[in-house]
Chains A and B, each alone.
Chain A
Amino acid sequence: MRAFWKPHRIVMALIALVIVVWSVLNLRWDWVPNYLGLAAQGIWRTIWLLAASIVLGMALAIPLGLAQAVGPRILAWPARTFCTVIRGTPLLLQLWLLYYGLGSLFPTIPWIRQSEFWPILRQAWPYGLLALTLSFAGYEGEVMRGAFKGVPKGQLEAARAMGMPRLTILRRIWLPQALHRALPTLGGETVLQLKATPLVATITVVDIYAVASRVRQDTFITYEPLLLLAVVYMAITGIIVLGFRWFEGRIPSRVA
């Protein structure tokens, strides 16, 4: 820690502290107490959308990566197309296509309102979650492809030589090693996914960005809500980065 606090850093930290204190005292913060409840809900929604889309996205990305790494053409080709399409179009467009595009098809299917899925199809968050999941899967599919290919062939051959069934090799050797290789990238990708979540506010999902927008509309204050919003996102990013670093530290690894 001593090495971190060089003289110039102490001066800069003090300047930063002065700026923060000045902002707290001089900018308009009178709206904060009124919106704390809404803000807490918004942060919760942002976090669970992030977590759920990452878990589901990875679940989809692993088969996508595997299919591209070793799969027969008939599996690899659709996987590759999926990843290319997802990575080649903006998330905002994908989101609107899913929500408004599919929504525009509903009136043409009259029985849909009586089906059991209707309560879910009605709401906005399933579409947000779906778009974020597919997006994450598209990008991580590429990452996992590289990770699967990067596991040393020797490991897999040795397991095969010992007569391990294919699925066990995947489960015990290939997948864990691939995940370990991908972990640093996944940390960065999680942060990118966090930065993608505000887009769901455009399809009426009330995440923390939507709450900040609401504050801006109600009070006409331009900067303060956005600044606080930026601080919230930086805090969440910090937690994610620290979390991944801790996790990486816990995995035993011998760099050959």
Chain B
Amino acid sequence: MSGDDPIAAFRVEAGDLLEGLEQALLDLSHQLDNRGLIDAVFRGLHTLKGSGAMFGFDALATFTHHCESAFDRVRKGLTPATPELVSVILSAMDHMRALVEGDGAGLEAVGSDILARLQAALGDAEQPESAAAAPVAAPSATQSAKGWKLFFRLPPGAMANGTNPLILLDELRDLGEAQVVAVVDDLPNLPDLVPTDCMMGWQVELRGNISREDIEDVFIFVMDDMELRLEPLESEEEAPVAAQVETLPDQSAALATADPSAAKAATPRASESVRVPAERLDILMDRVGELVIVQSRLSQLANSGVEGAAGELALRSISEEIERLASELRDTMMVLRMVPVASLFNRFRRLVHDLSRETGKTIELVTEGESTEVDKTVTEQLADPIVHLIRNSCDHGLETAEERLKAGKPAAGQVKLAAQHAGGEVLITISDDGRGIDRARVRAKAEANGLIQPGQVLSDFELLQLIFHPGFSTAAQITNLSGRGVGMDVVKRTIEGLRGSIDVASEQGKGSTITLRIPLTLAIIEGLLVRVGDGRYVIPLAAVEECIELPVSEDLRMRGRSMIQLRDALVPFLRLREVFNTGTEPDQFQKIVVISTGGERVGLVVDQIIGSHQTVIKSMSSLHREIASFSGATILGDGGVALILDVMHLVAFGQQREARLRAVG
């Protein structure tokens, strides 16, 4: 467990550091003069070097040191940051990752190559500073004597700064037989005495085989500020005291003897741990607490010998409690494995950056819904398919800058990754604004591979589905970008292996969108809990733009209208009381929750906004599943049930209603 193993903890930390560094470098490549980013990169390299050295990752520390020095020049303004430099450091990250995971054996060539490129990027032939070599211990003269006579006085402020003269005296006493005499000549009069000031001196006679270093070592922290007079009691030899050069056991030697095998010890891969928000652990703790209580009730019952109906009843009650707790524990545990897709999406920033360089096209990656949560194993299995889809978009989908400009599009192509929950599923879309799928080419390829007959009539949908056919991409790979043996058919199979489905939509000249639908055994929603009449409802927080008070006067003015004035805009609104036909009277002070999705907005009028609420989406039985306004239900803290509003449907409904009312006049 990384909690007890510093090496494992270091690996995890190094992983995070490298990830953070990568993101900062990618940001830097778009803003080369951003001081904040430059400092952040430097700090990251510096920390990585220091920690690496501390835990025995010498190759890593040395390599990182060179990168850090290079970046120090940028930080000091001696060299500008260039895209070339950023790219080299990004490659250096990969090398560092390898060094963190292993011991660097066999990677020296790679390392030297990168450092050479680093030098080239810095634009001069200056040799990199030599690695932080172990400092050579300054040979110092030592004298061994039968004893020493010394006098020392500390600066007045020494005690306030944590130096304890009594401990220093104890240290001296440890060196040999000591006689200590306090020297109080300089003590001021009592009224002038500042108790925290050290005004005393000490005279110490030390007998034993003690070296000067030993004594100086005692005073190492205060050496610069104190008064120290030292003379040997008698020297061993009358001969001139030759400076005996003695190498101090320097710390780097100590470091070298730190067990190198510790670094190679098999440790669990960093990716096998999961970051868990503390609140989820609190919930787990609560459940465990309840379980403990129920267990003691069971134990009591077992020992009480109550029989018959009373005993059965008590047993049944306990059994029900346990069933409830087991179910909740199961839910809570699954929740712990949920991670936001941001962790997945971030990996692709680097990919798009590299693809942009390789293809020579300017490509932007836009992400949406990064906070959508998905089970950890699902993110891992989605990585490869999404990489392939992104490569497809960058390689085939997006046009070159000139083509785009000619077509009236912005020069930079856009790849968009979006994630959202829809009931018990997560929807991930990969879309681009490129040239779209060329139906004629698909058809030609399908015919060439014998998937369809020439002249066979197919709907557009069927035609597009052909790209997922195993036999479709057997024709020679166009470029090596989309190679790697991952065809669209493999993508489809992987998604289906997750019990999901994949869809493609494409408009020629405009772009393509691939939609992955993955069912989740469990989905978490961060929601806004509201009350309408007697019922409580949860609105996905991600869709909530704002909440506004609805004054009574405004409410009256809204009668018969279809829109409300929201600052400068008119927004359609829905009174949920009416939509859900609660049959209750409205609260005096109603609220409007403005929700938005896909750029469209609707204001929902509710009676009360209760608060935000994080909870598990429970899907409903097939009897209720198709009700469009709700995407599921959830259990609240008091055991009650709240329905989760389907934002997309309500927004569409609000817009339609508004259009209808407007048409009617």
Bound together: no
